């Protein structure tokens, strides 16, 4: 490993050997029956009590124990299988870069570093978990994976992982995202995946939704509901999820583990760690290992999640038990949520249009161990465009949320005459999102806001509100 | 530097210190007055004799001597300025990879290697020359560069180089390419460049063409003619060209210099070197250093340029004096050409739709020191799609031409029970060309052919044919 100018690079040998399980260092609310359902199929009885009797009755055990195990106990370090590390070596370790031109453009005394996860063929951090999941599912005898995808980054990553490991793949992609970013669909098809615009006519839940609201733009929760329904019809098929679940967050910690070593190489430790927040895999991937290091060194590092104003689950949501999908077929987990029936306005950061935050990130937030902030689209794209001009790297709209927050902190540092070390994650490139940048440059982006009424409406669909039988 | 599995990586210290000037090892036809015009402005008198009296009368000296010098003499190795090497270090050295999954898919005994030039922010090899040119022009006091671009790779690269070095930038992009690949235009705009669809109403030649043929799709020769006209109107402005010229080919030799060392690292020497052919900068960049090495070791390595059937300048063109632009304002050079008025059908490999081959590549071909082959679109995209599926890297349509030839050679090796070492250049990624892949997957691509009549027509516009005053 070595520092070359502003780039801090690790060798293939430096690819982390272990993922980091934050449960070793975090008190989470006690697991109860609703939580435990993540491991075992929900019974029809439980579902009936929640008011969603039909859909989940035959939900098969989904997650291979070999994969699940490492993400539930208190074991701090979980070994990465050799086969997965070998796959990681196709593009990891990823670079950490000092954004010196951005600093100069902002005339800030802050030191800005970014970790860049867009160097792989899928173009985002999602491949970290996709390859791990494809490996564990294949080992468990699975032959085809199905998933829902918002912006398409998860779907692209899963299609590539399935292609690499010889599994079939079906992707339900949010219709609005597929229309905005058709290229991601092409990428998936090039990888041999079947791509379905969601809501679709090929599932029951999709047909129902299309009948009720023909022009609906879809949401990740809906796409996941369709994928879940579809996966049950496929022999040796399973539903694979790209964020939220403990094991997904676990896989992503390779990002932060590498970044820790790279910051050491740079001779600094971040005062502020910033990442965008969809369901939380990107934020957790970077921030969790720094949480561990903070505990060890008693550093005062701030961890900040950045979400869109159009989907403010942390800044305006409720900490409650909820489902991960629109139809309520998944097990419930405790999370910051806007309600699983919440459909965010169609902003370009499709990967952040998810109604809830991962349970582990939610617990961290509830306990005051991290912060959250929300931005509108124009402020985000302004930041992304400045980053592109200065660092010659177009961030994905999702990642541009983090950049917005970085810029605000750096400008504040200039005004307050402090010089913090800021680290953020550029989770992916925006080369397939350039139409959104074009709209921004042409002044045509809307800053969607969400009304209190809309949030109240979807929160009214929370299982706790529907069923008196299950206490909060 | 080191080999890690199938990847052969160099360190920053291994970035070549010198470009390679093939003139040291190649007999080219004697320079006469027409050739010498590349260095000096054409006089009105000469132009009048060519039948194009008006346009070039006030053509200013264009190329800084500091840049030009290294590409005309017999000096074999031309030092790369430290500032340019520093810029190169932002992404170079680029990887060389053994395409083992492609080999497996083809069940071939051939060893296939590819050099990958798409890892920089502009996404192609073009940045190698763009940065060098921006450096030399800036040193010569130039404040703005103007260019024409076909597929947009050169324009994107130049906009980034200008942004990096603080120069203004105007890009005339072939209208059809801009419509097919709007994202490249956005990238240029993000870099602060002014992007103009060509033919445009903002130049005389553009207005004339639009009046004569309103629906015309444009060509690189037309875009260059507009850029030349525009550059003359800008104070401290110059026209920068992305291929064809000796100095551009010189800059690109960093590709082959690195590849030579990487093949050594792999413990093999290529029997076949393959690259796609627009005007020649990509082909020359990879192949020229191997030509030198062949001379030294007497290796029997074949050098193959791959062009589209829609623009078969080498396989069906004539070796003659011709202009580089549609309106005939540039100096003439001796080249394989279809005539500067040739407008290729609108294939997706926009970067290869250029009527002529670089003089240095043309000389190499004329002397039987290299081969050329042409393919139709569907065969090319079939190859690109297979490469994407196996190597998880979507090649630009231009680069997919090389892949097609690689596959054919590898299949032949299987049939003939030989095991050649094949090296090709993936000059850029196809992430901004996915609509073309989509069309291919949907079966909607046309295989454009060019009639003998069309070629005869445009060859009739060659200066030698127009003017009896200038002998062949």
pLDDT at residue A73, rounded to an integer:
84
CB distance B119–A121 less than 8 Å? no
Phi/psi region, residue A152 (left: phi>0; alpha: psi -120 to 50; beta: rest), is left
At A255, is the pLDDT very low, low, confident or very high (cuts 50, 70, 90)? Answer: very high
At A221, is the pLDDT very low, low, confident or very high (cuts 50, 70, 90)? Answer: confident
Average pLDDT over residues A313-335: 87
pLDDT at residue A127, rounded to an integer:
97
pLDDT at residue A412, rounded to an integer:
98
Q: Closest residue of A to B161, CA-based?
A: A392
Pick the residue with more confidence: A359 or A467? A359
CA pair distance A191, B390, nearest whole angstrom: 9
Asked, for residue B36, whether it belongs to a domain, the answer is no
Q: How many domains does chain B have?
A: 2
Sign of the Cα pseudo-torsion (B134, B140, B143, B149, in order):
negative
**Other beta carbons less than 10 A from residue B406's beta carbon:** 28
Residue A299, token pair as written in the block: 């550093």
The model's pLDDT over B54-101, given as tens digits with 9 standing for 90+, comes to 333 333 457 888 888 878 888 999 999 999 999 999 899 999 999 999
Give the least confident one: A142-151, A216-225, A448-457, B257-266.
A216-225
pLDDT at residue B95, rounded to an integer:
94
State the nearest Cα–Cα gap between B407 and chain A, in angstroms. 18
Pick the residue with more confidence: B31 or A426? A426
Q: Closest residue of A to B182, CA-based?
A: A435
pLDDT at residue B35, rounded to an integer:
42
Contacts of B432 in chain A (CB under 8 A): 431, 434
pLDDT at A225 over 60: yes
Helix (H, G, I), strand (E, B) or coil at B71: helix
Tokens 């393959």, located at residue = B274
pLDDT at residue B38, rounded to an integer:
37
CB distance B394–A190 less than 8 Å? yes
Q: Does residue A446 sit in the same domain as residue A406?
A: yes
The model's pLDDT over B118-177, given as tens digits with 9 standing for 90+, comes to 999 899 999 999 999 999 999 999 999 999 988 889 999 999 999 999 999 999 999 988
Of B163, B189, B389, the CB nearest to A191: B389
**Other beta carbons less than 10 A from residue B178's beta carbon:** 26
Q: Looking at mean pLDDT, say which of A293-297, B223-227, B449-453 comes out highest.
A: A293-297
CB distance A183–B434 less than 8 Å? yes
At B327, is the pLDDT very low, low, confident or very high (cuts 50, 70, 90)? Answer: confident
Residue B290: closest CA among B307, B270, B275, B306:
B270
Contacts of B123 in chain A (CB under 8 A): 431
Asked, for residue A80, whether it belongs to a domain, the answer is no
At A42, is the pLDDT very low, low, confident or very high (cuts 50, 70, 90)? Answer: very low
Asked, for residue B5, whether it belongs to a domain, the answer is no
Which of A87, A392, A432 would best serve as a mutation to test chain B binding (most B beta carbons within 10 A)?
A: A392
Per-residue DSSP letter, A358: -
Q: Does residue B437 sit in the same domain as residue B292?
A: yes
State the nearest Cα–Cα gap between A198 and chain B, in angstroms. 19
State the nearest Cα–Cα gap between A445 and chain B, in angstroms. 15
CB distance A121–B392 less than 8 Å? yes
Asked, for residue B174, whether it belongs to a domain, the answer is yes
Tokens 């307050």, located at residue = A416
Pick the residue with more confidence: B261 or B2? B261
Of B12, B182, B186, the CB nearest to A4: B12
Give the least confident one: A189-193, A323-327, B115-119, B235-239.
A323-327
Q: Closest residue of B to A439, CA-based?
A: B186
pLDDT at residue B30, rounded to an integer:
59
Of B86, B183, B392, the CB nearest to A434: B183
Q: Closest residue of B to A395, CA-based?
A: B121
Q: Does residue B119 sit in the same domain as residue B132?
A: no
pLDDT at residue A292, rounded to an integer:
98
Q: Does residue A107 sit in the same domain as residue A157?
A: no
pLDDT at B452 over 80: yes
Asked, for residue B263, whether it belongs to a domain, the answer is yes
Pick the residue with more confidence: B448 or A161? A161
Of B5, B89, B432, the CB nearest to A5: B89
Residue A263, token pair as written in the block: 């910051």
pLDDT at B37 over 80: no
Q: Is A96:A262 a contact under the CB 8 Å cutoff?
A: yes
Q: Which of A239, A267, A302 is the last residue of a domain?
A: A239
Contacts of B435 in chain A (CB under 8 A): 182-183, 186
At A45, is the pLDDT very low, low, confident or very high (cuts 50, 70, 90)? Answer: very low
pLDDT at A122 over 60: yes
Q: Interior CA angle at A351 toward A347 and A355, to 5°?
A: 85
Of A182, A191, A393, the CB nearest to B438: A182
Of A89, A164, A185, the CB nearest to B392: A164
Give the least confident one: A218-227, A309-318, A338-347, B31-40.
B31-40
The model's pLDDT over A63-115, given as tens digits with 9 standing for 90+, comes to 888 888 878 888 999 999 999 999 999 899 999 999 999 999 999 999 999 99
The model's pLDDT over A393-427, given as tens digits with 9 standing for 90+, comes to 999 999 999 999 999 999 999 999 999 999 999 99
Q: What is the DSSP string of B158-207?
A: HHHHHHHHT-EEEEEEEHHHHHH-HHHHHHHHHTT-EEEEES-TTSHHHH
Average pLDDT over residues A165-189: 91
- Write down how long chain B is: 472
Average pLDDT over residues A374-391: 96
Q: What is the DSSP string of B256-288?
A: HHHHHHHHHHHT---SEEEEE-SSSHHHHHHHH
CB distance B392–A438 less than 8 Å? no
pLDDT at residue A324, rounded to an integer:
80
Residue A198, token pair as written in the block: 């969601």
Q: Does residue A113 sit in the same domain as residue A138?
A: no
Of A163, A190, A432, the CB nearest to B437: A190
Average pLDDT over residues A185-202: 95
Q: Which residues of B touch A (CB under 8 A)?
A: 4-5, 12, 86, 89-90, 119-121, 123, 160, 163-164, 182-183, 185-187, 189-192, 385, 388-389, 392-394, 431-432, 434-435, 437-438, 441
- ipTM strictly over 0.90? no
State the nearest Cα–Cα gap between B5 and chain A, in angstroms. 9
Which of B12, B160, B183, B193 would best serve as a mutation to test chain A binding (most A beta carbons within 10 A)?
A: B183
Q: Does residue B268 sit in the same domain as residue B382?
A: yes
CB distance A160–B432 less than 8 Å? no
Q: Does residue B281 sit in the same domain as residue B401?
A: yes
State the nearest Cα–Cα gap between B56 and chain A, in angstroms. 35
The model's pLDDT over B338-373, given as tens digits with 9 standing for 90+, comes to 998 898 887 788 788 889 999 999 999 999 999 999
Number of H helices and E strands in chain B, helices first, is: 20, 16
Residue A151, token pair as written in the block: 């912006």
Q: Does residue A187 sit in the same domain as residue A309?
A: no
pLDDT at residue B54, rounded to an integer:
30
**Other beta carbons less than 10 A from residue A3's beta carbon:** 14
Contacts of A180 in chain B (CB under 8 A): none
Residue B237, token pair as written in the block: 């402005």
CA pair distance B312, B331, nearest whole angstrom: 22
Q: Does residue B170 sit in the same domain as residue B155?
A: yes
CATH of the domain at B408: 3.40.50.1100
Q: Does residue B195 sit in the same domain as residue B98?
A: no
Of A187, A388, A432, the CB nearest to B190: A388
Tokens 């540039």, located at residue = B330
Detail the DSSP E strand segments found in A51-109: 77-79, 96-98
Which residues make Cβ contacts (< 8 Å) with residue B70, sequence separation at least 6? B19, B21, B78, B247, B250
Residue B62, token pair as written in the block: 């264009």
Find the distance separating the first CA and the last CA of chain A, reported in whole Å: 50
Contacts of A393 in chain B (CB under 8 A): 121
pLDDT at B292 over 90: yes
Q: Is A425:A286 a contact under the CB 8 Å cutoff?
A: yes
Q: Which of A187, A205, A239 is the last residue of a domain?
A: A239
Domain range enclosing B186: 127-239
CB distance A434–B187 less than 8 Å? yes
C-alpha Rg value of chain B to the nearest Å: 21
Query: pTM for the complete prediction?
Result: 0.89
Of A123, A385, A435, the CB nearest to B190: A385
Contacts of A394 in chain B (CB under 8 A): 121, 187, 190
pLDDT at residue A437, rounded to an integer:
95
Q: Closest residue of A to B127, CA-based?
A: A392
pLDDT at residue B467, rounded to an integer:
53
pLDDT at B440 over 50: yes
Give the least confident one: A58-67, A172-181, A387-396, B292-301.
A58-67
Asked, for residue A18, whether it belongs to a domain, the answer is no
pLDDT at residue A46, rounded to an integer:
40
Contacts of A432 in chain B (CB under 8 A): 431, 434
Q: Does residue B170 sit in the same domain as residue B252?
A: no
**β-pair type (B2-4, B7-9):** antiparallel
CB distance B183–A431 less than 8 Å? yes
Q: Which residues of A touch B (CB under 8 A)?
A: 4-5, 12, 89-90, 119-121, 123, 160, 163-164, 182-183, 185-187, 189-192, 385, 388-389, 392-394, 431-432, 434-435, 437-438, 441
Phi/psi region, residue B310 (left: phi>0; alpha: psi -120 to 50; beta: rest), is alpha
CA pair distance B313, B373, nearest whole angstrom: 10
Asked, for residue B42, whether it belongs to a domain, the answer is no
What mean pLDDT, rounded, does chain A reach?
88
pLDDT at A54 over 60: no
Asked, for residue A27, whether it belongs to a domain, the answer is no
pLDDT at A154 over 80: yes
At B1, is the pLDDT very low, low, confident or very high (cuts 50, 70, 90)? Answer: low
pLDDT at residue A261, rounded to an integer:
98
Give me the total of CB pairs closer than 8 Å, taking one residue from chain A and one from chain B.
Answer: 91
Q: Does residue A250 sit in the same domain as residue A234?
A: no
Q: Which of A213, A239, A265 is the last residue of a domain?
A: A239
């Amino acid at each position: 490993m070595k520092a070359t100018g502003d780039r801090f690079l690790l060798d293939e040998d430096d690819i982390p050997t272990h993922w980091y399980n934050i449960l070793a260092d975090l008190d989470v609310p006690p697991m109860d029956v609703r939580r435990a359902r993540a491991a075992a199929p929900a019974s029809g009885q439980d579902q009936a009590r929640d008011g969603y009797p039909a859909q989940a009755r035959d939900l098969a055990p989904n997650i291979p124990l070999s994969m699940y195990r490492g993400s539930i106990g208190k074991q701090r370090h979980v070994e990465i299988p050799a086969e997965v590390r070998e796959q990681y070596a196709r593009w990891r370790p990823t670079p950490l870069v000092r954004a010196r031109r951005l600093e100069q453009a902002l005339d800030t005394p802050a030191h800005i570093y970014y970790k860049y996860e867009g160097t792989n063929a899928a173009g985002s951090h999602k491949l970290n978990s996709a390859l791990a999941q494809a490996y564990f599912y294949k080992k468990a005898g699975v032959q085809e994976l199905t998933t829902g995808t918002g912006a398409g980054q998860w779907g692209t990553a899963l299609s590539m992982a399935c292609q690499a490991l010889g599994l079939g793949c079906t992707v339900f992609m949010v219709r609005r995202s597929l229309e905005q970013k058709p290229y991601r669909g092409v990428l998936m098809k090039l990888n041999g995946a079947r791509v379905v615009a969601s809501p679709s006519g090929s599932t029951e839940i999709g047909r129902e939704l299309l009948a009720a609201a023909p022009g609906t733009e879809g949401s990740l929760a809906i796409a996941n509901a369709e994928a879940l329904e579809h996966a049950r019809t496929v022999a040796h098929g399973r539903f694979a999820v790209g964020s939220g679940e403990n094991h997904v967050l676990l896989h992503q910690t390779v990002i932060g583990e590498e970044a820790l070593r790279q910051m050491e190489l740079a001779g600094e430790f971040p005062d502020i760690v910033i990442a965008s927040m969809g369901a939380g895999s990107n934020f957790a991937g970077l921030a969790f290992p720094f949480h561990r290091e903070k505990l060890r060194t008693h550093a005062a590092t701030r961890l900040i999640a950045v979400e869109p104003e159009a989907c403010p689950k942390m800044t305006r949501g409720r900490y409650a038990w909820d489902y991960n999908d629109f139809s309520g077929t998944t097990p419930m987990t405790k999370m910051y949520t806007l309600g699983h029936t919440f459909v965010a306005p169609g902003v370009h950061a499709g990967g952040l249009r998810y109604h809830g935050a991962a349970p582990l990130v939610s617990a961290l937030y509830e306990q005051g161990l991290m912060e959250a902030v929300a931005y509108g689209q124009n402020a985000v794209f302004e930041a992304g465009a400045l980053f592109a001009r200065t660092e010659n790297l177009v961030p994905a709209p999702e990642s541009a949320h983090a950049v917005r927050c970085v810029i605000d902190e750096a400008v504040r540092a200039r005004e307050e005459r402090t010089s913090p070390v800021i680290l953020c994650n550029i989770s992916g490139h925006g080369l397939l999102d350039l139409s959104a940048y074009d709209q921004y440059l042409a002044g045509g982006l809307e800053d969607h806001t969400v009304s209190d009424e809309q949030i109240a409406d979807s929160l009214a669909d929370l299982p706790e509100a529907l069923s008196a039988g299950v206490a909060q």
